[in-house]
Amino acid sequence: MKDILEEIIARKQKDIELFKQFLPPSKLYTLVEQKMIEGQSDIPDRSMKKALLDSDTGIIAEFKRRSPSKGWINEKGKANIIPLSYQQHGAAALSILTDTPYFGGYDEFVSEARLSGVTLPILYKNFIMDEYQLFQARYCGASAILLIATVITKSTCRQFIDIAHELGLEVLLEVHSECELEYVELSPDMLGINNRNLGSFNTDVDCSFKMAELLPEDICKVSESGISNPLIVSQLRSVGYRGFLIGECFMRHDEPGAALSAFIQDLKEQ
């Protein structure tokens, strides 16, 4: 079976170089620095970690139009409509896919969500391999970034966490297996367990349950991928998880925000 992650990473490296040709790193870094110095930011002063810990649902509703394994999920989904609807229907935080070739996303989707009135923390979800992408996330209005242990070395991850914090971004560090738990000592703001194997894209929520007892008690734990049942969320909360990243379950509906609202109502009845 072809390793999808290897294909994505190879393409991502090329895409990053193209971005740098269009907007050189020095120019992007200067734009971000100016925005920070002048206090001109479209990032509300809200912590994603705190939002999850304070929420009685912890749902991170995801704006995800496409998947490498399933193709288009919601090709006509609008970033200036659905994220705000998620906010209005009870999401604790949002995640926005910004990878274009495999997920149909763009950095502009984060900006569009902010301009529409979104004030919730937004996770910039991409395959981050270069510090340039951290500045992209900061510039478009994200509150937090996703770092994937499978994609970067431990030393690079440490460097990226430091840079992210300097930029005022929180970090959700994603691991999938026990062998990646050494990354936890880097003290990310949140720790995510991806129930999806990024090589095969097979998904098994049992991964979060199996990993739960191996995780530090004092870290904000997030279960990612394959969650479509409120009962599973309730069970995951009982073993220590406080964040639940859910996208496809909502995005397949004509009105994702309404689907989220119904999900939350069912969750509260568990």
The catalytic residue among 49, 111, 112, 125 is 125
Let me know if 170 is a catalytic residue.
Answer: no
The catalytic residue among 194, 195, 197, 261 is 194
Q: What is the CATH number of the domain that holds 187?
A: 3.20.20.70
The catalytic residue among 12, 74, 95, 174 is 174
129's tokens: 């391999």
Average pLDDT over residues 199-204: 71
Query: Binning pLDDT at 50, 70 and 90, where does residue 90 land?
Result: very high
Q: What percent of the chain has pLDDT over 90?
A: 84
- pLDDT tens per residue, range 3-60: 888 899 999 999 999 999 999 999 999 999 988 877 655 567 789 999 999 999 999 9
Q: Which domain holds residue 253?
A: 4-268
- pLDDT tens per residue, range 65-86: 999 888 999 999 999 999 999 9
Q: Is the pLDDT of residue 177 over 80?
A: yes
Let me know if 210 is a catalytic residue.
Answer: no
Judged by phi (left if over 0) then psi (alpha if -120 to 50, else beta), residue 201 lies in left
Let me know if 180 is a catalytic residue.
Answer: no
- pLDDT tens per residue, range 148-171: 999 999 999 999 999 999 999 999
The catalytic residue among 74, 208, 225, 261 is 225
The catalytic residue among 64, 111, 112, 170 is 64
User: Which is higher by pLDDT, 197 or 116?
Assistant: 116
Q: What is the pTM of this model?
A: 0.94
Residue 97 · residue 72 · CB < 8 Å: no
User: Which is higher by pLDDT, 131 or 34?
Assistant: 131
Let me know if 224 is a catalytic residue.
Answer: yes
Residue 126 · residue 146 · CB < 8 Å: yes
Number of domains composing the chain: 1
The owner of tokens 């009870």 is 90
The catalytic residue among 62, 112, 170, 180 is 62
Backbone angles phi, psi at 172, to 5 degrees: -105, 110
The residue among 97, 20, 87, 12 whose CA lies nearest residue 51 is 87
Let me know if 12 is a catalytic residue.
Answer: no
Q: What is the pLDDT of residue 1?
A: 34
